Amino acid sequence: MPESHLFLYFAPEGGNPDYQRVRVSLTQATPRSIGRGHWQADVIDQASGKRYRVRGAACNLPGCMCDVRIVRELNTAKLA
């Protein structure tokens, strides 16, 4: 049976309030490697095969770190 996917919308790195969130399709197991607060993880978008380094980030609430930001897209050529 194929593994189901979870779709999350990650914010690109930067302070621009008008940014477009990136839709990323993750396996159900991936969210175990991401959390709240100060953390960093590498994730693979199952739909495109792109790899991203993501980190925890502050949302608009004071003291809350529930958002996820893309730090950068990782080089996928090294996977072959």
38-79 residue pLDDT tens: 888 888 888 889 898 888 888 778 878 778 888 888 986 654
pLDDT at 38: 80
DSSP 3-state assignment of 47?
coil
Judged against a pLDDT cut of 70, whether residue 80 lies above it is answered with: no
Q: pTM score, two decimals?
A: 0.68
Instruction: Give CA–CA dist 57/64, Å, rounded.
Output: 8
